[in-house]
Chains A and B, each alone.
Chain A
C-alpha cells in the first residue's frame, strides 16, 4: 500500500478518457456542423486509440511492478467505503494476465473499427472505453461488492455495442445477452449478500479464510455458478453467444470472445474453488460432464454452421469447455492450463473474428458459401487465416496446443473419461476448422465478386500481426506465462486444500 495507485489509475484511465471525449464533443457541438461527422468519428477513434494505448502502457507499468515470485495479492490499494465494504484493488498472476490481455485487445478493437464503423462513432468509442474500465475493474477488485459492481456494469456498454452497432437482428441478440447474464448474476447477488452478512465483510482475503458451512457452500456455489456458467458460457446456457457474436460488430465479437468470456473462468478460479472448496469437490463430476458435453456438442454444431462467425462462436463454447475441465481438475496442470487456455483463446478467437471481419468489410456477408478460392486473391490473408485455423485446432507450436494439452493432462489426472471426452473435441475442432478453411480459402473462385477482392490493408495487418506473433510466441515459450501464473494457481489450490 502507499505510493502511486497504479491499479486505480489503470482502471479508471479509460473512463476518464471517455468523459473527456464526451465533454469535448459537447463543447464543440456548435462548431460541429462545419466539420463532417466522418472527421469527428475519426478524431474520436484516434482519441480512443491514444487513451487505450496509454492504458496498455499503464498495465505494463503495473506488470513491471508485479513480483511473479510472490503468490498473494500485490499493489494493493484500499480505501474504506461503507461499513466493512471497501474500495480494494490488487492483482495476482491470474488477474494481471487477463488485464494485459484486455488492455492489449482494446486498442486492436478500436483500430479494427477504423473503416467499419460509420455511425455514432464517438459513442462507440466511449462505450468501448467505459467497458474497458469495467473489465479491468473485474480483474483488479479485491472486494466482492466492488467486483459485483464492475461485473454487472460491464453488461451495459456491451448491451449497447451489440444493440446499436450490431447487425439485422441486433435487438434480439442484445436482449438475449442481457437477460441470460442478468438472471445468472442476480442469483450471485443473493449469495454475495449472504456471504457479506455471514463472514462479516466482503474482502476477498476475509472470505478466502472464512470456512462456510458445507451445506451452505453448496447453495453459494450454485448461485455463483449460475452467473459464471452463463458468462463462460457452459452448455446449456450458451445460446446467447452465437447470436451475440453474429449480430455484434467485429470489434464487439473480439471483445466478447477475447475477454468477456474469461470473466466466467476467472470467477470459478477466484471464488468457487478457494471459497467453496467442499462444494467444488462435490460438483466436480457434474462440471466435468458439462465440460465434455460442451466440447462435443458445440463442436458438432459448429461444424454444421453456414455462417463463419457463428461457427467460431460455437467453437469458442467448445474451447471454453477445456477451461472448465482444467479448473475443476483441481491440480496444477489443470489450473495452469485453464489460465493459459483463457489467454490463448483470447488471442486466437479474437484474431479469427478479425479474420472474418476482413472479408465481411469487403463482401458484406459471412456466409461460407459466398467465398471459396480466397487464396488466389488474398495470399497474405490466407496465410494468417491458416495460422489461426491451426492454432484453434491446437497445433503444436501455437498457444492453442499448450492450453488444450495441459487442461487435458490435468483432467486426465482427475478423470480419465473426462479427458477422453475432451480429446474428441480436438478431433472435431480439426474437422470444423479445416472444413471452414477449405471452403473459404481453397478451391476455385466461383463468386465473381471475389475477382476484385483486395488483400489485407495496413490497418488489418497492424491488428492481426501482433496476435499472430503472440500466438506463436506463447506456443513456443509458454513459460513466459506459466512463470507469472504459477504462484496464483498454487495459491488457489492451496486455499482449496484448506491452507
Chain B
C-alpha cells in the first residue's frame, strides 16, 4: 500500500508543475481542441487572473493550517481528538453528522414522499374507487333495495303508480301541445 500511496502523493503534489500549461494556460486550446466549448463572450478563463491575491493563497493557507492541526492533534497530542469528540459540542455534532444532510433528506424528501405515497394510495381507495366503481355499485345496490320495497304485491299500489305515471305522462304531452293555449 505504501508504494501506490507514494506514487499517488507524488502525482498529487507535482502533476500541476508539468501539466498546468497544457491543461490551463499556454497551449491549452490545442490540448482541448474544442472538446470543452467556451462561448466567445465568456471570459471566465481570462478573468481568473484578476481575482484578489488572497483568494489565490487561501487554498494553500487552509491546506497548511489543516496539516498543522492534524499533526498537532493526531501526532504530537494523541487523545485531543477523542477529548473534543467526548465533549460533544454542537460543532462536533454538526460535523460528525455530516452537516445533518442525511437527516434533513430523511425528514423532508423521504418522509414527505412516503406521506404523499400513503395519501395517494388512500385517495385511490377512498376517492377514485369510492366515487367510481365502488360508489356506483353502492348507489345501485341501495337504489335497488329501496325500489324493491315498492314491490308490495298489493294491486292498489301498482294501480296508483300506473295512474300517477299516466297523469304525469299525459301532463307532459298536454304541456308540449300548448297547454291551456
Contacts and interface: CB of A to CB of B under 8 A. Distances in A.
A482 B133 CA distance: 39
B121 A239 contact: no
A304 B129 contact: no
Contacts of B120: 297-298, 300-301
Contacts of B116: 300
Given A297-B120, A301-B121, A301-B124, A176 B133 contact: yes
Interface in B107-140: 113-114, 116-118, 120-121, 124-125, 128-129, 132-133, 136
A431 interface: yes
Interface size class of B (residues with CB under 8 A): 10 to 19
B114 A304 contact: yes
B128 to A, nearest CB: 5
B117 A303 contact: yes
Contacts of B114: 303-304
A303 B133 contact: no
Contacts of B117: 300-304
A305 B122 CA distance: 12
Contact of A304 (B118, B132, B136): B118
A39 B70 CA distance: 78
Interface in A239-259: 239-240, 242
Interface string A409-444: 000000000000000000010010000000000000
Given A239-B124, A297-B120, A303 B113 contact: yes
A302 B118 CA distance: 10
Interface string A154-193: 0000000000000000000000100110000000000000
Given A300-B113, A301-B120, A236 B133 contact: no
Contacts of A179: 133, 136
Contact of B121 (A236, A240, A304): A304
B105 to A, nearest CB: 12
Interface string B47-69: 00000000000000000000000
Contacts of B121: 301, 304-305
Nearest to B136: A179
Contact of B113 (A236, A242, A431): A431
Contacts of B129: 239
A300 B124 CA distance: 12
A474 B120 CA distance: 34
A236 B121 CA distance: 12
A236 B118 CA distance: 16
A300 B116 CA distance: 7
B114 to A, nearest CB: 7
A176 B121 CA distance: 17
A180 B113 contact: no
A429 to B, nearest CB: 13
A179 B129 CA distance: 12
A488 B116 CA distance: 40
Max count, chain A CB within 10 A of own CB: residue among B118, B121, B125, B136: B121
B109 to A, nearest CB: 10
B54 to A, nearest CB: 41
Nearest to B119: A300
Contact of B128 (A239, A304, A428): A239
Which 3 A-B residue pairings sit nearest by Cβ, starting from the closest? A300-B117, A304-B117, A301-B121
25 contacts: A176-B133, A179-B136, A180-B133, A236-B128, A239-B128, A239-B129, A239-B132, A239-B133, A240-B133, A242-B124, A297-B120, A298-B120, A300-B117, A300-B120, A301-B117, A301-B120, A302-B117, A303-B113, A303-B114, A303-B117, A304-B118, A304-B121, A305-B121, A428-B113, A431-B113
Interface of A: 176, 179-180, 236-237, 239-240, 242, 297-298, 300-305, 428, 431
